[in-house]
Each structure stands twice: as structure tokens, then as C-alpha cells.
Amino acid sequence: MFISHIGITRYALSAWLKSLGLNGNTAGLTVLSGSGTVSFMPQLSCHSPFGALTISEDEGQIVALDWGWGRDQEETPLLLKARDLLERYFDGESVDFDALPYRPYGTPYRQKVWDALRRIPYGKTRTYADIAAEVGGSARSVGGAVGANPIPILIPCHRVVGRAGLGGYSGLGGIADKHAMLHLEGVL
């Protein structure tokens, strides 16, 4: 698939595809600038219990984690570290994803919600209402921000649950993936 647009980022494409119901998977996209040059962010894919995952980096920071295998693979030190942490996490180790630098693109409110998610420790959960009390807004607005998280798993949106159940999950496998990650962390 070719997308031609000046200044569009892979994350912007991911958000656009997600809005079309394509789960934000940018694997295999070629981005052309106005000059006709091809521009890619470094990406590295890995296998997981939930299928292939692709981590994207921009200017030395993680900007996206997408379901699917990326077409282009580049082993930067940061992407190798992120892949190693993910593999250790899926092997059942308690890992500190905060050791990675992030730059998720989003509104100031979403940034506040995503920062709050990063403070939820491994093996713990918070409710949407808990996060709303911390950052402002409502449980519903927090749910919208959580669902728009461009770096799932690493920014642990799966650790946010409803008061009367798990709530939703925007990963490819939906609520089953959220359940499996919480089980892996010993929450369920």
C-alpha cells in the first residue's frame, strides 16, 4: 500500500488506519514525501503469544507498537532493547518498561492519561475511574484515551479495568489478550 503525503508519520497513518477499523497496522506501508523520497521510521518486529508485534522508533524514542509483522526491519539499540524487554515479559518476568524512552503522539489530555498508565506497577490494576480521579475527566474520557494508546503493552493500558469487569481492549485479540496479559502478571 502506498500513501503519499508531505510530513505524514507512520503513527499518523496508524491512527488513520485504526479509525478505518484496520487496527492501526502500518506493516508494509511505504510513505512518500512530496519530493518522492521514501521515508521510514526504524521498526523491529518480534513474535509474541498474541502474534507478531512491530515496535517503531522516531528520533530515539518509541512511538508505536502495532500488531503485525513490519516489512522493514532495522535493529537499532533502542528497538533491540524494547524487543528484549517484551520477550522477557512474555516469558513471565517482571520487567520495567519505563527503562525505555517514549514519545506517543496525542493530545495533552491523552498524554496525561498515558503517563498515569506508566505508573501502574507490574501485577497491579487501576480502574478507569481511578485514572480519571488522578488526571481529571471522566471514566469514559479515560477509556477513550486508553483505547487510543499507540504503544500498548509497553504503556500498560491492559492494566486499566472497569469497576465491574475487565472493560475493553483495543489489541488485535481484544479482551482475550487483556485477560491473558493480566493472567501472565498474576492479576487473574
Catalytic annotation on 157?
Answer: yes
Q: Which of 145, 157, 160, 184 is catalytic?
A: 157
Contact criterion met (CB below 8 Å) for 139 and 128: yes
* E runs forming strands in the chain: 2-4, 30-32, 43-46, 53-58, 61-67, 126-127, 160-161
Report CA 107 to chain centroid distance, whole Å. 15
Give the integer Cα–Cα distance in Å for 66 and 124.
24
Please give the grid coordinates belonging to residue 1. Answer: 500500500
The backbone torsions φ and ψ at residue 86, rounded to the nearest 5 degrees and listed phi first, read -65, -45
Half-sphere exposure (Cβ direction) of 23: Cα atoms closer than 13 Å: 15
Q: Which residues are catalytic?
A: 157
